[in-house]
Structure 1
């Protein structure tokens, strides 16, 4: 119940943040989360093409999340649980409107941020020609799932990201390891995170190796739906339901 209240209060603060603050924080998060793609790329280029190499280069995946979450920037999937708890606790149309405003601003700013970095990568501003060729070779080998499969793979990603937001208030001093472990699991499982995955498909699109329509319909939109279901639907509402059951038991006692 204490953790629920801490997370709910964080959500209340997020719901009333002004739009410019949400957009700027979300933009910074979108730019910073692209560090995950760059870290993976740098590690992949230095490893042999073997099965065990994946365990090593996927260690670069948590880098962007560490910057974003420990830097208190606005990341869409982390907002799915914190912002939905105030609505679940006291449902009103006003709070529903605030939630949609928050999600819309943060997601838009996150995606703009990853597209900016993807454009800089595609035009070899922040990477070398050799790194650009390697990135195209590596990312073009990734199989883009059909929309329904991307959606189902987005559900566990949303759940794990919501778990991070839920665990951090009681993980003082261990935040780094919580973020690293759970995001590493997302990478290992090949789960679909709408913001981080969009950095990959945006790079392929801007490099001329993927149509925009395919990127949107087969990844961005289904991953978004899956993340919302896993974060707000499964984790957020289940955690809130547990709290209400505990509270009812206390009242009866």
Structure 2
């Protein structure tokens, strides 16, 4: 097949895919959204994010990094409060009940969180509406904003926590060590699973029609991540950066190692295991002849 014929075949294939997406509607009697309808909504939301100004994206991303810090505040407070009453392991498991709070604030508040947006931003590239270069550019902007917001809230909480007597630097160190005590390959694999779950969270949010069910979905997914100890790059950034600033036992190289593998793993989990698989599952059902 010549290049021209191949290009025509690809253009026809893409036209059929876009046509099927436009026709996608709810098919069940209870009004539940179909696979195609969810995919269409995800693509629309992803394209809307691409069309936003860089300054708006950065500010929204910084806001998400700040707001996710409230999860960290509650993690430190709960861990500190219960560590004298139960084992450290049990105290950390208990923090899974408060871990979702920051995510609820960020997601319902429409701030841009990297892990929640990973699959959302990948879909327009798979659908050939945006380029890989534009994806990497917007990822870089969102990650930068999330990290800046995380650094800022970490420094604020390091000051106010001890002042209020709700936690001390020893708690900050233990939480940072808990996140970074694993080999790089373990952090990477754990982060893939966390990214996978966050991508599914975004997908499930699009399938939901009311706020209460969305809160339940956010709680279930993020509490599961916390209880199992899966690595989330943005919450983990606050945890480990706070330890880096306050403890001599957290070195800069340790922080960089954690952040690299957590971000990389989250990106792979969201882009490959959610965006690619969900998109291909829809495409393979389309007659492209």
1:4 aligns with 2:4: no
CA RMSD of aligned residues (A): 1.8
Aligned residues: 246
Ranges in structure 1 where 5+ consecutive residues have no aligned partner: none
Ranges in structure 2 where 5+ consecutive residues have no aligned partner: 1-35
Question: In the aligned structure 1, how far is the partner of 2:91 from the partner of 2:253?
Answer: 32
Q: CA deviation at 1:213?
A: 1.5
Q: CA deviation at 1:53?
A: 4.1
Trace 1:90-129 onto structure 2 (pairs within 5 A): 90=128, 95-122=131-158, 124-125=159-160, 127-128=162-163
1:212 aligns with 2:252: yes
Runs of 4 or more consecutive aligned structure 1 residues displaced over 3 Å after TM superposition: 50-55
1:41 aligns with 2:98: no
Tell me which residue corresponds to 2:184: 147
Tell me which residue corresponds to 1:78: 116
Trace 1:127-166 onto structure 2 (pairs within 5 A): 127-128=162-163, 130=165, 131-136=167-172, 138-139=174-175, 142=178, 144-166=181-203
Q: CA deviation at 1:169?
A: 1.6
Q: Give the 3-state SS of the residue equivalent to 1:168 in structure 2.
A: helix
Which of 78, 88, 108 is the equivalent residue of 2:126?
A: 88
Question: In the aligned structure 2, how far is the partner of 1:132 from the partner of 1:121?
Answer: 10
Q: What TM-score, normalized to structure 1?
A: 0.91
Q: What TM-score, normalized to structure 2?
A: 0.80
Question: In the aligned structure 2, how far is the partner of 1:82 from the partner of 1:168?
Answer: 11
Q: Give the 3-state SS of the residue equivalent to 2:285 in structure 1.
A: helix
